[in-house]
Structure 1
Amino acid sequence: MLEMKLMRELNHENLVRFYGACIEPPNICTITQYCAKGALTDVLADDDMRLDDMFIMSFISDIIAGCLYLHRSELKTHGNLKSSNCLVDSRWVIKLTDFGLQQFLKSDNNERQSKDLMWTAPELLRHPEARVYGTQAGDVYSFSIVIQQIFTRSPPYDTNRMLPEDIIDRVQRGVKPYFRPSISKERCPNTHIWRLMALCWDEMPDLRPDFTHIAKVFKVANGGRTMRIMDNMVSMLETHANHLEELVANRTKQLYEEKKKTDELLYRMLPAVVAERLKQGKYVQAETYDEVTIYFSDIVEFTSLCADSTPLQVVDFLNDLYTLFDGTIPNYDVYKVETIGDAYMVASGLPMRNGNRHAAEIANMALDLLTKVKTFEIRHLPGARLLLRIGIHTGPCVAGIAGLTMPRYCLFGDTVNTASRMESTGL
């Protein structure tokens, strides 16, 4: 009851307000002020959150102010200072939590895991019984580890190569040179803060500064400026809002680029007009065209060519040939319908009508492809001459989408059949 009374009396803008506790099993818990932004650990782990000097100095100032109040209060110590116990409220103010109530939380204190002890001072690691209440010098050591985290935005001791148990063991043994976080001046450019960290994690508790001295050093490090919560809040919110605008703009740009890639891929599979209707969820109705020109071509003696080649060579050969064709047809007002094996099918006059130009477009394209084939080289058969057989016919046809999965734009009618026969019986 005395602990509860003391906790209720503690009141500071950098401490989480304590309201009470529930002691009825199984819902034994404490009830405290809610901090909307979560723990400092979460803020540091968020790569999208840019922490400039103002954020960093404001966070450190808040932690110092909270610890200074606790050390001057009847409670005397925090006892469990770490980044996950530094909560961030909706105004970006740090509030300390998880202090006091040592008797109420005694069983929890005895069951702390190794990763929870990485902020603990070496002398407290050697004497577990002293950890229950902690010491002011121990809080100073914990404070230095939190500062290291703020500047490096990484776990305590900033190493991914060691397990928490190994880190704690090296700190606890206290063998020279003492094991401490490694932080360069590039990561912590403020010389005063960099030196303060080294003082705060000194092996000898008596040589560590108290928070009164820490507050004076920090004021010098901050250029003598007094950190006002409301001023900082407005400034930080403006900075955060500007950063969010920049972040949204970058994400929007990325989304546009991805959409552009997706659309380009879709337009290669379906006509743009048809693709847009499908994207809008609309039904694509089959359409009749009074006059279009259909082109069919295939490779002469393709079966014999396949017999002298491996399957991979056939695929590479067809890919080379049709890549050449695909690079040629954009020069004409035509639409590539499909390729099936060695057959290549192109149409003009659909899906966009072009008057009576379709026959000339297909004929000119066919002559161009014949010219390109004369100089085409088969990689695995150097010197072999490739012959192309082409059939063309003009007439009416119907075009529409067939299927929902892997939909294809298909042409139907006697014009298609006639063009195919012209190809198969041609020279």
Structure 2
Amino acid sequence: MNANTNYEAQVMQMCIDDMKIRSILPKELNLKIFTMESCNRFSGVEHATYLHYIKNASVYFGPGCNNGTSGEVLMNKKSIRVPSYATYLVKNGTIKIVVELSARIGDKQKCAMSIDDCTEHVAHEILPHYWSSQDGSLPVEMPKCGFDGSLCDYSPVYITIGTIVFVVCVILLGICLYKKAKERELYDMTWRIPREQLKLLEHDRKSEIGSISTGSWTEGDKADVRISANQAICNSVKVSYKRFQQNRNLTFSKPELAKLKELKFVENENLNKLFGICFNQQNEFLVAWVLCQRGSLEDVIFNTDIKISRNFQVSFAKDVVKGLYFLHNSPIKYHGLLCIQNCLVDSSWSIKLTNFGTEEIIANKLKHNEIRPFNMGSKIKKKSEEKEAENNDKDGKERKRSNREQDDEDDEDDESNINIFDNAKDVRSITDKKYLQQAPEIIRELINAKFLPPGSQSADIYALGMVLYQVLFKLDPFYEREDSPNKIMTMIALAGEDDKIIRPTFPNQQTLQTADGEESYNLQLLSCIEACWLEIPEMRPNIKRIRTLVNANLKSTSSGTLVDQMMKMLEDYTTNLEQTVRSRTILLEEAQAQADRLLKSMLPASIAEDLKVGRSVAPQLYASATILFSDIRGFTQISSTSTPFQVVNFLNEMFSGFDAIIAKHDAYKGKGKFDTWFLEGKNECDTWALGGASRK
């Protein structure tokens, strides 16, 4: 029983193997398909025969593709079938093929080296965008550089990374060196000037501090009295300066040094040049700007001796806008204290903005009590008192010593009374005019902190509106108000939502047109100026918008530059002046002739001619001369019995007779005592006769 069972198991296994082999054998062999029942009938001889066929077939066919009952069959060198595979996706009851792995013969060279490399599987993607890769495609079988990166040469990458790191280090080192060099340039202070090179042109102030006088001048030089700025000379260049006394040695922060360096080298046709700063010498702090020959725009606009036409006003307004436009687009960013006093007029009648940037530095030094305003008035007063004491008092030395002690006390008082008013100038006419043109937010800080706060572009826009107002209308802001500037500033600063906002009012355009004989300004330009005065800084227009509106609405009526227009004005003025001189010369000649006639009627002609040319008249001696004395006999009785008109007519007739005789005989009329007269004739005129009159 057991032997039969083992035998049947062997036959069963043989049949199964036979079916496997048949599936891969070619049809030419015509192998018979056996069933389980037929297998049981085979004998051992048949088994050996099948094994012999199988062995010979495997040796005959070897590795390769063969057509089997199920399709193409791939065999490897071990005569083992290499099947193909497919991956299915079952989802929601549906089956989809994702990818197929097709078996194929591999590279022969690899196969010769290794039996396992004779075949390979090639993937064919069927379902797109299934995989979770970046592009949704099937991942490669092997990464480009292998799973451990050993298949790639990374030396170029390492070299590139090293080069980049080296270059970055070099760049960083260069940046550090550049910053160090720039920092050294900051501390070089190219804008600093020695105090001994600055020669001040100061003059006496007789009436009030800040007023310009034509009195004595120091150091033998004269400043231009038409310009309201303090003047000095440095390296043969005329400059205007602001002067302060130092309380201690000054130092500047890096932002201040950077700003001063930028101010020193800024270049624009509508910006003035910062000449330099003196400090820590002679206990003085001076800020010097290049002096413009024609003074400030205020000196020109409000000078009644200069007739400014509409073309000049248009050019001035455009120059101010262009200068501020450049500042707002430069590293300086803003002016800080724009006003008509800080707009200068140069020799070519161009406007140059000045004092930008330095006012903030000065205010910062004042705030920290590093400097104080220079008290020029007290110094001059004390010097004059010292001179009087030396001239009028024997004890002048003692008084001088006491005055010096009083100076020290005044200096101590000045330290405790530092305010926003610079250079000890007149508070009403100088200082408040500048601050009255500033934005409300700036005025509030001035009133609260007593020092000029940092500026802004919106504050410059407000001040620009004030400057345009003064240039176009030749009027001071708030000219119609009788309040003091301090009170107006307080009203501007304290104006709330319920209070009326105070702003300058435009003059009547009809009256302005009639007075000047020129067209009035259009509403768009006036609206632009009013927009500059808005209370909220963010609502004010920017400088680009203002520049566009000003250029569009302000047109010059004449061609050429301002210099050409000024030359034409000078030509017209010269022509008018020649006509005036000609007419005045005629009048002068007539007046001279009348004076000559009058002089000759009073003096002999020869003496009159000598006096006219400036020669001295020497006494002359004549051998003979005729003198006629006349006297009105009974003049007192005549006067008492006659009316005043009769007396006057009588005297006129008598004197006319004298004058006729004098003119006829070239004689001289002299005045004697009381009512007596005498006539004198020269001895050369021996043929003439003198007549006398005596009326009773």
Contact 1:151 1:187 in 2 (8 A): no
The corresponding residue for 2:351 is 94
Contact 1:292 1:347 in 2 (8 A): yes
Tell me how far 1:12 sits from its aligned partner: 0.9
- Selected match of 2:532 from 176, 179, 200: 200
Distance 2:639 2:435 in 1: 70
Look up the equivalent residue of 1:242 and give its one-letter code. E
The corresponding residue for 1:62 is 319
- Selected match of 1:184 from 508, 515, 534: 508
Q: Once structures 1 and 2 are overlaid, which stretch shifts more, 146-155 or 208-217?
A: 146-155
Contact 1:15 1:97 in 2 (8 A): yes
Q: 1:144 to 1:20 in 2, by over 3 A?
A: same
Residues 1:9 and 2:265 are matched in the alignment: yes
The corresponding residue for 1:142 is 463
Residues 1:33 and 2:290 are matched in the alignment: yes
Contact 2:296 2:340 in 1 (8 A): yes
- Selected match of 1:115 from 433, 440, 447: 433
Q: How does 1:319-358 map to 2 (within 5 A)?
A: 333=663, 337=669, 342-343=675-676
Residues 1:48 and 2:48 are matched in the alignment: no
Contact 2:360 2:452 in 1 (8 A): no
Contact 2:461 2:543 in 1 (8 A): yes
Contact 2:669 2:679 in 1 (8 A): yes
The corresponding residue for 1:249 is 578
Distance 2:569 2:272 in 1: 23
Distance 1:89 1:209 in 2: 29
The corresponding residue for 2:486 is 165
Larger Rg: 2
Residues 1:283 and 2:616 are matched in the alignment: yes
Q: 1:170 to 1:344 in 2, by over 3 A?
A: farther
Look up the equivalent residue of 2:502 and give its one-letter code. Y
Q: 1:252 to 1:199 in 2, by over 3 A?
A: farther
Q: 1:238 to 1:283 in 2, by over 3 A?
A: same
TM-score by length of 2: 0.43
- Selected match of 2:592 from 241, 263, 266: 263
Q: 1:54 to 1:226 in 2, by over 3 A?
A: closer
The corresponding residue for 1:376 is none
Distance 1:222 1:36 in 2: 26
Distance 2:314 2:521 in 1: 10
Q: Once structures 1 and 2 are overlaid, which stretch shifts more, 116-125 or 10-19?
A: 116-125
Look up the equivalent residue of 2:421 and give its one-letter code. E
Q: Secondary structure at the match of 1:79?
A: coil
Tell me how far 1:260 sits from its aligned partner: 5.2
Q: What per-residue deviation string (whole Å, max 9, x for no partner) do you get for residues 194-223 of structure 1?
A: 443333334443443222111111111134
Tell me how far 1:134 sits from its aligned partner: 2.4
Contact 1:145 1:157 in 2 (8 A): no
Distance 1:96 1:160 in 2: 28
Q: 1:211 to 1:298 in 2, by over 3 A?
A: farther
Look up the equivalent residue of 2:570 and give its one-letter code. A
The corresponding residue for 1:378 is none
Tell me how far 1:33 sits from its aligned partner: 2.4
TM-score by length of 1: 0.66
Distance 1:281 1:210 in 2: 72
The corresponding residue for 2:215 is none
Residues 1:239 and 2:568 are matched in the alignment: yes
Across the two proteins, how many residue pairs are aligned to each other?
A: 356
The corresponding residue for 1:22 is 278
Residues 1:301 and 2:668 are matched in the alignment: no
Q: How does 1:121-140 map to 2 (within 5 A)?
A: 121-128=439-446, 131-140=452-461
Higher relative contact order (CA 8 A, sep 6+): 1
Distance 1:135 1:235 in 2: 37
Tell me how far 1:14 sits from its aligned partner: 0.2
Look up the equivalent residue of 1:80 and give its one-letter code. L
Q: 1:254 to 1:159 in 2, by over 3 A?
A: farther
Contact 1:219 1:226 in 2 (8 A): no
Distance 1:158 1:327 in 2: 63
Distance 2:686 2:535 in 1: 90
Contact 2:477 2:504 in 1 (8 A): no
The corresponding residue for 2:45 is none
Q: What per-residue deviation string (whole Å, max 9, x for no partner) do you get for residues 295-341 of structure 1?
A: 766655333467799xxx98x99777667777898889468846676
- Selected match of 1:218 from 550, 561, 584: 550
Q: Once structures 1 and 2 are overlaid, which stretch shifts more, 233-242 or 321-330?
A: 321-330
Q: 1:257 to 1:87 in 2, by over 3 A?
A: farther
Tell me how far 1:73 sits from its aligned partner: 1.8
Q: 1:318 to 1:269 in 2, by over 3 A?
A: farther
The corresponding residue for 2:334 is 77
Q: 1:319 to 1:162 in 2, by over 3 A?
A: farther
Q: Once structures 1 and 2 are overlaid, which stretch shifts more, 341-350 or 108-117?
A: 341-350
Q: Secondary structure at the match of 2:508?
A: coil
Q: 1:423 to 1:305 in 2, by over 3 A?
A: closer
Q: 1:247 to 1:142 in 2, by over 3 A?
A: farther
Q: Secondary structure at the match of 2:512?
A: coil
Distance 1:285 1:256 in 2: 33
Q: Secondary structure at the match of 2:361?
A: coil
Look up the equivalent residue of 2:323 and give its one-letter code. G
Distance 2:313 2:546 in 1: 16
Distance 1:355 1:200 in 2: 94
Tell me how far 1:61 sits from its aligned partner: 0.9
Q: Secondary structure at the match of 2:276?
A: strand
Distance 2:646 2:536 in 1: 76
Contact 1:15 1:96 in 2 (8 A): yes
Q: Secondary structure at the match of 1:19?
A: strand
Tell me how far 1:250 sits from its aligned partner: 6.8
Q: 1:243 to 1:63 in 2, by over 3 A?
A: farther
Q: Which runs of 5+ in 1 are unaligned?
A: 360-392, 395-418
Q: Once structures 1 and 2 are overlaid, which stretch shifts more, 148-157 or 330-339?
A: 330-339
Contact 1:144 1:201 in 2 (8 A): yes
Tell me how far 1:55 sits from its aligned partner: 1.1
Q: What per-residue deviation string (whole Å, max 9, x for no partner) do you get for residues 58-87 of structure 1?
A: 111110101111122222221222222111
Distance 1:261 1:162 in 2: 54
